[in-house]
Amino acid sequence: MIELSWPQVSARRLERAGLATPHGPDGGTEGTVAAMCGAHAQVMSAAELSVGLRLGGVTRVHVREALWKERGLVKTHGPRGTVHLLPARDLPSWVSALSTLPVRPAPAYMRMTDEQTGQVVAAIGEAVKGAELTMDELSEAVVSATGPWAGDLVMPAFQTYWPRWRQVMHLAAHRGAFVFGAGRGRKVTYTAPPDTPPATDGPAWLARNYLWAYGPATPAEFAQWAGGTIGWANAAFKEVELEEVRLEGRPCWLLAGDTGMLAEPPRGVRLLPYFDAYVVAGRPRELLYAGAAAERALAGGQAGNYPVLLVDGEVAGVWHQRRSGSRIDVTVEPLRDLTTAQLGELEEQVERVGEVLEGRPRLTIGPVTVGAHA
């Protein structure tokens, strides 16, 4: 059995993520997002930064054009039910995979039957055909098509209550009923997904892509990343030809034949924004977030709530950016002393952040006082 070290695995993951060497222009934004297994887009500016930092010469405008003009990307609910950017070409496979995730029951007071869930999903899909609806417009259409029960205000949300039907919003996206629209002013909108042939091998397809990007890994790690159960992940792994290896003595799996590693350990300084795919998927946590990083850069064990400083493949600090007009103040709090060369690389990264976000960056090294993102 092949024995792998953390530096070997870290170097390989960074290379495949476009964080060691930025991706070339041929793959474009779609290829980069595909290699990431989706870009987390709950914070849209962070998604733009995640993609832009992996592609030379790309700014947030290129990401927006790929999403809203060229339609090479779509915005929808992805792994764990959270909002992601995904390649439009891969959406059928994502739907095929995510629609098989086991549905976790809601609390009894807001629960819906399987029949009611199916009615809501169908109503959403019908309402957004040829349209781009705000949440209020979509809610009116869903309640009208299903019945008053769908509009019962039973779902706690942000110091108010949402109608019952909204608890299955992510499920409807996973079943291919809608994607996000371009928006109407400041209002979020929803529309029909691209008209593409369906796919049927979703769970196996997703496992292969995940292992190519973030392997070696275990079914439990895959389940945590996707938002599934161990049983679901085990079933997906069984559909893929795998090879067992050991990472720092722990058994885990890679795609069969995909066991090559880079000769050199990871090198370089990188800034990653909120919920960057690399740290959210990166496990084991105690190797990626070694030492003081586990306490400073994780929030209750959850990765992504802090933007992080990567040094030689490990989380070595946190950072924050505050924008005022065109000026972007970037504060970086390292958890270790940086060499002169590393400080130079950090300044280059800050300049690149400014390029992607189309602003004038200014670096300050010192404590980050902003708390974790919810």
Whether 25 has a pLDDT exceeding 70, the answer reads no
Q: What is the CATH number of the domain that holds 301?
A: 3.40.630
Residues 40 and 187 both lie in one domain: yes
> Given this model, what pLDDT does residue 159 score?
87
Reported as a single tens digit per residue, the pLDDT across 103-124 is 988 888 899 999 999 999 999 9
Give the pLDDT of residue 21.
86
Number of domains in the chain: 2
Please enumerate in sequence order all residues whose Cβ is within 8 A of that of 136, keeping only pairs 6 or more positions apart, or say none.
none
Whether residues 174 and 296 share a domain: the answer is no
> Same domain, yes or no, for 104 and 15?
yes
Domain-located, residue 124: no
174 & 41 share domain: yes
| Mean pLDDT confidence for 245-255 | 97
Residue 89 has pLDDT above 70, yes or no: yes
27 & 175 share domain: yes
Let me know if residue 328 belongs to a domain. Answer: yes
User: How much of the chain, in percent, has pLDDT values that exceed 90?
Assistant: 94
Same structural domain, 44 and 172: yes
Write down the pLDDT at residue 293: 97
The token duo for 269 is: 């300084």
The answer to whether residue 374 scores a pLDDT higher than 80 is no
The C-alpha atoms of residue 182 and residue 221 are separated, in whole angstroms, by: 33
Q: What is the pLDDT of residues 45-57, one digit of tens each?
A: 999 999 999 998 8
Render pLDDT for 331-369 as a digit per residue (tens, 0 to 9). 999 999 999 999 999 999 999 999 999 999 999 999 999
pLDDT band at 22 (very low <50, low <70, confident <90, very high): confident
Q: What is the pLDDT of residue 251?
A: 97
Computed over every residue of the chain, the mean pLDDT equals 96
Same domain, 319 and 187: no
Question: Of 191, 223, 256, which marks where a domain is finished?
Answer: 191
Q: Which of 139, 156, 191 is the last residue of a domain?
A: 191
What's the whole-number mean pLDDT along residues 50-73?
95
Is the pLDDT at 24 greater than 70, yes or no? no
In a domain, 199, yes or no: no
Q: pLDDT digits over 134-178, tens only?
A: 999 999 999 999 999 999 999 998 889 999 999 999 999 999 999
Q: Is residue 227 predicted with pLDDT exceeding 90? A: yes
pLDDT of 27:
65
pLDDT, residue 105, reads 87
Residue 280: domain span: 269-365
